[in-house]
Structure 1
Amino acid sequence: MESMPKPSMESDDKLHIVMLPWLAFGHMIPFLELSKLIAQKGHTVSFISTPRNIDRLPKMPPNLAPLINLVKLQLPQVEKLPENAESTTDLPYDKVKYLKMAYDQLQQPMTQLLADMAPDLVIYDFAPYWLGPVAAKLGISSVLFSIFIAASLCFAGPIPVLKGEDDRTTPEDFTVTPKWIPFKSNIARFRLFEVKRVFDDVTSVDDENIPATYRFGAGIEACDVLAVRSSYEFEPEWLKLLQQIHQKPIIPIGLLPTTAYDSSDNGEAWTEIKEWLDKQSKRSVVYVAFGSEAKPNQAELTEIALGLELSELPFFWVLRNRSSVADTEVIELPNGFEERTKERGVVCTSWAPQLKILSHDSVGGFLSHSGLSSVVEAIQCKPLILLSSWRTQG
């Protein structure tokens, strides 16, 4: 963190840094991992979220807990937002916009909190696009931390494009390399079937809410530094291009693999899973999991299940048949699937310790939804089989 802007103080002074992630666990967990890295340098972190989300975060390592203050900020109630809904995992996709409305009402209490805390630095997510100007008025340096890699941010475009001046209006427009990317790359474009899955998310303008792209544009415009979940070893050309596009300092902070701490070793759940994995041959098991919020539709789920069955490979499948507790569109496995595969497969419908499963010698591959956190966890130890462009809640 030494290259981030600092107030005028002695170089050996410790900083107080405020973190404000968006209310999705795919955002909160990387922000928490970054908080741990900052705390390891001896700095103090105030990690801010809503009460229910704070209570659901992983346990903090004992050596870092004194330096990471978990601050609970009450989420305002808005019409159409279900009671006790404080994260995207609590909501079906079409209700997430009301969570963003409630989140935007945190501007005034966050302003007061920053004034009272007087931190040296605030690190914020794409959603609180209003926080950069607030920090500037209070004389606080600011960093927008993107959990998305530099290639994704380059594809999204410069600030005017993010804020609405985008001439890409059809799905086909997103299947070619944007004009601001000067080199050829298959990364810098969608395949048509992929973009059709997310086209409404990319281009829609909702009268009830601020588009995600606008939030990113305004947030980047107002920050002093743009931090990216990436590294120069991973995507050097994209990080250099990102700096050219936005003309401000870019800090790649690494891929932030999860370092969850749990003194109970995950208890009975892991014991039972490990017993089953121990019985399987080395590198024979396909681990299947699509994250906490991505969800296939019924036709996709059926095809995945039948494909696993035809493969005749042992598998461990962590299956979420609904994207949230409020999701009424429950998906189901094909009739007889579990009975036909019970000798070589496990379908787990509850929580499972993904890092421990991926690290087990019997697991030979990971079938995933392409979420960056899952990809980062897997590339440390296992080959990946990726399904892309499933709509998530972030």
Structure 2
Amino acid sequence: MEKTEDKPLNIAMFPWLAMGHLIPFFHLSKILAQKGHKISYISTPKNLERIPKIPPELSHNFKLVPLPFPEVESLPPDAESSMDIPYQKSQFLRIAFDLLQSSLIDFLTTTKLDWIIFDYPSHWLPSIASKFNISTAYFSLFTAATQAFLGPPSQLLNCNLTRSTAEDFCRVPEWVPFESDVVYRLHEVTKYTEGAVGNESGVSDTARFLASIEHCDLVLFRTCLEFEPEWFDLVCKLYQKPVIPIGFLPPSLENDDFEENENWDMIKNWLDEQRVNSVVFVALGSEAILSQVELSELALGLELSGLPFLFVVRKSIIESAQLPDGFLERVKGRGIVNVGWVPQVRILSHSSIGGFLTHCGWNSAIEGLTFGRVLILFPVMNDQGLNVRLLSGKKLGVEIPRNEVDGSFTSDSVAESIKLAMVNEEGESTRANVREIKGVFGDKNRNDRYIDDCVNLLMKIKRP
């Protein structure tokens, strides 16, 4: 990537305390540093240890800024990320995050910045930054469709637009002017409304989103116009301020900071033995919670599919639920169950992977489509249901059927969805669509142009 000829920008990055936010913010930071801009990446000590190492050639442009993690009584010791706590305690993590304000102010007092690029939970940041004459950009790690579904910032002032029941989230909003099926299922929205309507932190997630948008100078989206043009046009109209697509920040093996270990050696050797496009990779993110019934039905569905599989299970899931009796013996040689972390990008890039059974967090969806892997869609929480409707509507994956009220599903539906996505003749059009969209998600030059356009705008509209 070429460095910009203008005077470099001084940019602070301030992501939310979750790996799905820390990593994309780091990725963008690295790209901007490669272009010659000065980056201050701000987070808490434990989270700074979790992100990839800064490449030595960028160390002069890229520094890590640790802020002491505040003590909050309801959080376990050393819990600094959403992956360290159960979902039910996420609002206490937001309390701790809000308490970082004073440490952040101390940093801003001693640092000259042009921009702060921030995440939705720090809705209070624009007012602080303005006192230091620093411009602010809200960086949305969500699709334009998801953010448009939340609505215009005017929702904060108009009580008539505020959704207060689960059913409210299962209808197309009145501000969406075109036909759409991007809505929640009833079982998906229960957790969302628990977080969005009244909570321990005193500020709902919806209010954080909308206040961040209302008070920032511009909004950045991890998307591109070619993928969701109608939704991008809508957010531009809803927000009434500069809205900039920055591309997908697609993963790249050449920039991968992964260090090989024995676990990867075993997985890679097994993948090398499988046929091209034959393996289904199952990974549900760093925060997913599965009940005993859900884990059993997923596992039995993989067994019934008859296809080779790599099933990644979080340690916290396997501590509270068990795989079906005899499952590991019955699938020995055809399937691998890995408990704990794996190099997801490396796995998805392997030629033997044909399908990706995913919770459909936007990070994972981007990674899967970048490498042309057909998606088997199994949303678990947060924005994932909306992502599934968007991607399913574009025929880029197959959604596992579930009961709309309680979210239950069967091993048969899992097996049939996997086979439809990966091998059945009826699924060929979906596989063809994925092969075609790979040219959008994985196009390095296209994504670079989006970043360059963004940087040019940041230089143009920063505060004097």
Shared fold (TM-score, shorter chain, > 0.5): yes
- What's 2:278 paired with? 284
* RMSD, aligned α-carbons: 2.2
Q: How does 1:85-234 map to 2 (within 5 A)?
A: 85-162=79-156, 165=159, 166-187=161-182, 189-196=183-190, 198-202=192-196, 204-234=197-227
User: Does the alignment pair 1:13 with 2:25?
Assistant: no
Deviations 1:209-255 (A, max 9, x none): 32111111221111100111111111112111111111110011111
- What's 1:71 paired with? 65
Query: 1:146–1:226: 8 Å Cα contact kept in structure 2?
Result: yes
Task: Identify the structure with bigger relative contact order (alpha carbons < 8 Å, sequence gap 6+).
Answer: 1
1:284, distance to aligned residue in structure 2 (A): 1.1
Quick one: distance in 2 between partners of 1:143 and 1:292?
26
1:59, distance to aligned residue in structure 2 (A): 2.2
Quick one: distance in 2 between partners of 1:263 and 1:219?
32
User: Does the alignment pair 1:390 with 2:390?
Assistant: no
Quick one: distance in 2 between partners of 1:285 and 1:139?
53
Deviations 1:108-134 (A, max 9, x none): 121121121021111111111111001
1:25, distance to aligned residue in structure 2 (A): 0.7
**TM-score normalized by the length of structure 2:** 0.77
SS in 1 for 2:116: strand
- What's 1:360 paired with? 350
Quick one: distance in 2 between partners of 1:79 and 1:15?
39
Query: 2:164–2:193: 8 Å Cα contact kept in structure 1?
Result: no
- Which stretch has the larger CA shift, 265-274 or 372-381? 265-274
1:379, distance to aligned residue in structure 2 (A): 0.3
What one-letter code is carried by the residue in structure 1 that aligns with 2:27?
Answer: E
1:164, distance to aligned residue in structure 2 (A): 7.4
**TM-score normalized by the length of structure 1:** 0.90
Quick one: distance in 1 between partners of 2:130 and 2:164?
34
Unpaired runs of at least 5, structure 2: 385-464
What one-letter code is carried by the residue in structure 1 that aligns with 2:361?
Answer: G
Judged with a 3 Å threshold, the aligned counterparts in structure 2 of structure 1 residues 237 and 174 are, in CA distance, closer, same or farther, namely same
Quick one: distance in 1 between partners of 2:222 and 2:294?
30
1:177, distance to aligned residue in structure 2 (A): 1.2
- What's 2:234 paired with? 241
Quick one: distance in 2 between partners of 1:124 and 1:386?
29
SS in 1 for 2:324: coil
What one-letter code is carried by the residue in structure 2 that aligns with 1:384?
Answer: L
Query: 2:221–2:244: 8 Å Cα contact kept in structure 1?
Result: yes
Unpaired runs of at least 5, structure 1: 1-9
Query: 2:120–2:140: 8 Å Cα contact kept in structure 1?
Result: yes
Deviations 1:161-193 (A, max 9, x none): 257734433322222211111111112x22334
- Which stretch has the larger CA shift, 331-340 or 10-19? 10-19
Query: 2:359–2:377: 8 Å Cα contact kept in structure 1?
Result: yes
Deviations 1:309-337 (A, max 9, x none): 111111111111426xxxx9712111111
SS in 2 for 1:117: coil
Quick one: distance in 2 between partners of 1:105 and 1:168?
28
Deviations 1:245-278 (A, max 9, x none): 1111001111112347566742322221111111
- Which stretch has the larger CA shift, 168-177 or 226-235? 168-177
1:307, distance to aligned residue in structure 2 (A): 0.7
1:200, distance to aligned residue in structure 2 (A): 2.3
SS in 2 for 1:71: strand
1:58, distance to aligned residue in structure 2 (A): 1.4
SS in 2 for 1:59: coil
Quick one: distance in 2 between partners of 1:178 and 1:135?
33
Query: 2:280–2:308: 8 Å Cα contact kept in structure 1?
Result: yes
1:66, distance to aligned residue in structure 2 (A): 2.9
SS in 1 for 2:227: coil
User: Does the alignment pair 1:311 with 2:305?
Assistant: yes
Deviations 1:274-324 (A, max 9, x none): 11111112211111111111122221111111111111111111111426x
- Which stretch has the larger CA shift, 366-375 or 75-84? 75-84
Identity of aligned residues (%): 47
Query: 2:278–2:352: 8 Å Cα contact kept in structure 1?
Result: yes
SS in 2 for 1:161: helix
Query: 1:243–1:249: 8 Å Cα contact kept in structure 2?
Result: yes
Query: 1:284–1:314: 8 Å Cα contact kept in structure 2?
Result: yes
Runs of 4+ off more than 4 Å: 259-265
What one-letter code is carried by the residue in structure 1 that aligns with 2:210?
Answer: G
- What's 2:366 paired with? 376
